[in-house]
Structure 1
Amino acid sequence: MTNINAALLSFGMSGKVFHAPFLHLHPGFTLLGSWERSTKAIADQYPGTHSYDSLEAVLADDRIELVVVNTPTYTHYEYAKAALNAGKHVIVEKAFVGCTAEAVELQALARAQGLKLAVFQNRRWDSDFKTVQNVVRQGLLGDIVEASIDFARYTPQLSPKTHKEKPSAGAGIIKDLGAHVIDQALCLFGMPRSVFADIATTRADSQVDDYFDILLKYDKMRVHVKGGYFFREPTPSFAFFGTKGTFLKSRADVQEDQLKAGMKPNDPQYGVEPDTEQGLLHTEVEGKVIRENIQTLPGDYKEYYEAVYQSLTSDLPEPVTAQDGVNVMRIIDAAFESAEQGKVIDLG
């Protein structure tokens, strides 16, 4: 089996939870280490790994073939560009970068260098989204007329992570939770014709956007993507309405909580939602009306890194391509333009 040497650019929560466990577990990857600015912790959890003191040290290590840019969003463009120029394949967390122009530039640079550039949109491999995707692909709802995907929480307090709350090219809810739901919508339905958005600041002392309701307009379909921090009793996070029926599903993926609690991704219970969170399908199949709960598919972020591995070793497309990242940034830029001007933005 071909081996791919990888390094992280941060060993905080995202490094410990979303990346290191999967790189370590996959037989085709070797996790060489991480850039660690103060606390040196990676070698304690993964003996034999190295703690790099700077980005330059990571990029100077000729053994490293894949760099994971899992730092705050406002650094993504600079760090990803440096890694590509150093001849490394790159994974960039969401939101991809600060704007569409930066996304297009990185996409072109990766192509010119003959390198792989992938976006880490892990929520495509959530149990809830995989289940919704399966229902839609089976055609159980007929033609989708309207759909709603939200990422709603009840967290009125400001985040202790100042990079999320201090105005910058990467701050605010749209480039945090919004990037997930926009990507999920585009994954299901592709690019819309136009965008209309309402964006607001709702929390006391907040300096960034913390509420959004974005309408993606297709030829015969409307898709709402929405998020905010004052949803103590949220409605179903996935509400899909078609010519044959309806599917409602909560956002209940357990992977993040399991990983934070120390569960390994190869545990038999990993990614398995409780049965109480099953989605409700009310539709018509072969002339018979049914109304029943649907078994939730397991979530599995291992599938993302397996797809990255296949992309690197068999020259297959990345699981979430740079073009996917460009498309999400086009929606985000259009949403802000729409909210500022109070009008529908045609995407052409």
Structure 2
Amino acid sequence: MVSKTYNVAIIGYGMSAKVFHIPLIQVTPAFNLYAIVQRNPTAENDASKDHPGIKLYRSSEDMVQDPDVDVVVINTIPASHFELCRLALEYYKYVIVEKPFTVTSEEADDLINIAVNRDLFLTVYQNRRWDTDFLTLSKLLKAGTLGRVVEFETHFDRHRPETPSGGWKTKPLPGGGGIYDLGTHLIDQVYVLFGLPDRITGFVGSQRERNPEGVDDSCTVLLHYDSGLLATVKAGVVSPEVNQLRYWVRGEKGSYKKFHLDCQEDQLKAGKKPGDAGFGIEPKDRAGT
């Protein structure tokens, strides 16, 4: 039994809210899906129809004034994260915000200071820390199975060479591009395992032949550690592989290689939830070696 149930309000009703947040909120005993902020519902995309009984707000300003809201989840474009986080914190709400946290480190510091001064929880939704392959890799490193690691590669590569159309991710906005999108997951995983690097070499740009908006669709980041470790973070859109590399880790005692992304995203898109039979369990033919 949980000692308290927290009413959760979600700002934004796109794919992130529907796939990555709401299914997990619904199976968390301490959480109650209480409200959704959706500015412009349509006949095909209406939160009140999908979740009858919840409160539907047209503005975040109205929602944060609701005294029954305990937790605010922010799923909007990165450039709006700072103002929405600050708004929620000013009304003494706990906040979960999608990555990237903010567009600049100065904005991040400001929000952290507000949360600390008001004794509020504020966290970034780094859900890839709970990918099954990452947990497996973490266990191997903690056990010393691979020995001293000297090279660590982590990839989110896809083959999407065509010019994308529509959506904020196709435009050169603050907090957009490959390094803020998928790169934040990869860099965070390296940080969780090895801490802050001593030096960084970074490349951002476009692999697509046609990119009229000039969006940085790809990135390669080298994280250098004085211990001798080199961590390579790569997210590309031109990678015509049948089996996409996910991890390649090399140490003095052994190596670990893994292909394919963790299965939880596809399972959530298909309607499965944590606790369902087989959730989070990858097929044996996709196991790392």
- Both proteins in one fold, TM over 0.5: yes
Q: Any idea what the Cα deviations from partners look like across 1:289-312, whole Å, max 9, x if unmatched?
A: xxxxxxxxxxxxxxxxxxxxxxxx
Question: What is residue 286 of structure 1 aligned with on the other side?
Answer: none
Q: Distance in 2 between matches of 1:52 and 1:95?
A: 24
Match of 1:37 among 30, 39, 49: 39
Give aligned-pair identity as a percent.
39
Q: Distance in 2 between matches of 1:117 and 1:159?
A: 33
Unaligned runs of 5+ in 2: none
1:301-320 alignment, distance < 5 Å: none
TM-score, structure 1 as length reference? 0.78
Aligned-partner residue type, residue 174 of structure 1? I
Aligned-partner residue type, residue 24 of structure 1? Q
Q: Does 1:150 align with 2:155?
A: yes
Q: Report the CA distance between 1:235 and its aligned residue.
A: 5.0
Q: Distance in 2 between matches of 1:251 and 1:132?
A: 14
Q: Relative contact order (C-alpha < 8 Å, sep 6+): which is higher?
A: 1
Question: What is residue 235 of structure 2 aligned with on the other side?
Answer: 227
Instruction: Give yes or no for contact 1:72–1:163 (8 Å, CA) kept in 2.
Output: yes
Q: Report the CA distance between 1:21 and its aligned residue.
A: 1.3
Q: Report the CA distance between 1:47 and its aligned residue.
A: 2.6
Question: What is residue 253 of structure 2 aligned with on the other side?
Answer: 244
Instruction: Give yes or no for contact 1:214–1:224 (8 Å, CA) kept in 2.
Output: yes
Q: Report the CA distance between 1:161 and its aligned residue.
A: 4.5
Instruction: Give yes or no for contact 1:127–1:252 (8 Å, CA) kept in 2.
Output: no
TM-score, structure 2 as length reference? 0.93
Instruction: Give yes or no for contact 1:128–1:251 (8 Å, CA) kept in 2.
Output: no
Q: Distance in 2 between matches of 1:37 and 1:232?
A: 39
Question: What is residue 272 of structure 1 aligned with on the other side?
Answer: 281
Aligned-partner residue type, residue 288 of structure 2? G
1:118 aligns to what SS in structure 2? strand
Q: Any idea what the Cα deviations from partners look like across 1:251-284, whole Å, max 9, x if unmatched?
A: 331111111111232211111111111111xxxx
Give the structure with the higher percent helix: 1
The count of corresponding residues between Structure 1 and Structure 2 is 280
Question: What is residue 98 of structure 2 aligned with on the other side?
Answer: 93
Q: Distance in 2 between matches of 1:71 and 1:28?
A: 24
* Structure 1 residue ranges, 4+ long, deviating more than 3 angstroms after superposition: 158-161
Q: Does 1:191 align with 2:190?
A: no
Match of 1:11 among 10, 13, 17: 13
Unaligned runs of 5+ in 1: 281-348
Match of 2:222 among 215, 225, 250: 215
Question: What is residue 186 of structure 2 aligned with on the other side?
Answer: 181
Match of 1:55 among 50, 56, 60: 60
Q: Distance in 1 between matches of 2:240 and 2:164?
A: 17
